[in-house]
Structure 1
């Protein structure tokens, strides 16, 4: 059984925008959180690409990574992830090659195959690009080539990028990327922080089919986990209502700006909406330090994950900081 003391802890941030704030404040909060978890000894700090969402400020992912890496000194910084169908592989190779040149040994490139946006936004992002999620395996291969050593006669190079060997991770919420990561011998991150349904089957497929590669000799699994920790169970449940409201807004197609916690959700959702939010947060760890420890130990026993990457969308940045302090204190 994997023990908490042997498990790497990391952070996934969406740079959430509060109802009383703006994108600039959200980005400053993201940097403050990265600095905080760096001091706590976390392994990495990732940000995710989302578009056309008024409550998320991490759309220009590579730009934000540069800001975060520049404001920290040790922690690895990367994408969780870049939605590759939205971009030409050469552009991503140049962006992350530049980041790797500026912050050597600290940049990760996590890749997803979903657009991270609705169909209208996806069309606006790509314009005349003909690619789609179906091209993901070929796009990953092209990106690996562009970040690898320069070949004789290579006509297109990423500069910076060529020879950088920026570590690539495959991200997924279904089974497709698990199988691709296994075939390519790449580390795999499962998005159980919002889609826990296939987590066990995806991990099994990945481990059973893993082929050692030049970058990884055995499977490496990271799990996304919503971390909603506070000093008491009651406090954690109260703060978690901000998260419930945000997911409810996502389900309803409403504004995703962060809203303050409320004493009760009863008047805010219908029974089927409560059930949908609960399903979304099926892997959430909510409660006091004791409850969080017990939940994480069960999660590790069930999955054998090598690393946990936590999300925490509490309304107040200080409550977010405290949540990560509680997690760090469990190891």
Structure 2
């Protein structure tokens, strides 16, 4: 596969960093929202419905701004691939969570920034990583793994067979690969020159069709125990997460180096734990603080500016 030549992106500035921290907080709170909606809507149906609602919102947003979504600009093939990868990520997460613990899933899902950096390094000119940046990714991943060490080591303690757990872990890795591959496709193909609205519309539309079809096949098209909290949680997922935050994410990808942005996603599960403490009364240990420090250190290494060589 040849390396794509795409418009030059710059390193994240303070504005982009603040946006990424905000996005990670939004994505971290999403886990609480999903748990709050599960009793009313089965997970796959919930994910498909979220994508469908957000796709309509993106269509309305694009139309209000005069951004064409259906013009033939050569992006259809790449858009369909990105949409299928987006849907595959959620399918793997859903199936994996039926076989392994949430903590183990978090560790394997958030291998995604590692795969993203590797894919962009290979296929996108301008996204090559220096040695110190690879070290930063390893440090950030180690910190995130440390934060979930208990669930990782004991997530299925006392269960008879390790095979379901291994299968769930494998699905977590596949979800991480699908997430990374989506970012690489967006940056390494003609989608790199497309609008953020159109890139997101492809993914939401395709994933809505795939996820709703899968929910139908699994007999999950049902609604029960609807509460105001469940409705608010679904609205949060569809409007705040799938529409606003993803639109901002793809806008950032049109302007900044993707590998340096993606490493911030290691903060997402840490925000998830923090919201669990604040909203669900869960606890955390001193090890979590050490893990957070490692993640922040890794992010700093990845985004450290290159040293300028002095002429002799």
> What TM bracket, shorter-length normalisation?
under 0.3
Q: Which structure has the higher relative contact order (CA within 8 Å, separation 6+)?
A: 2
**TM, length-normalised to structure 1:** 0.25
Of Structure 1 and Structure 2, the greater strand share is in 1
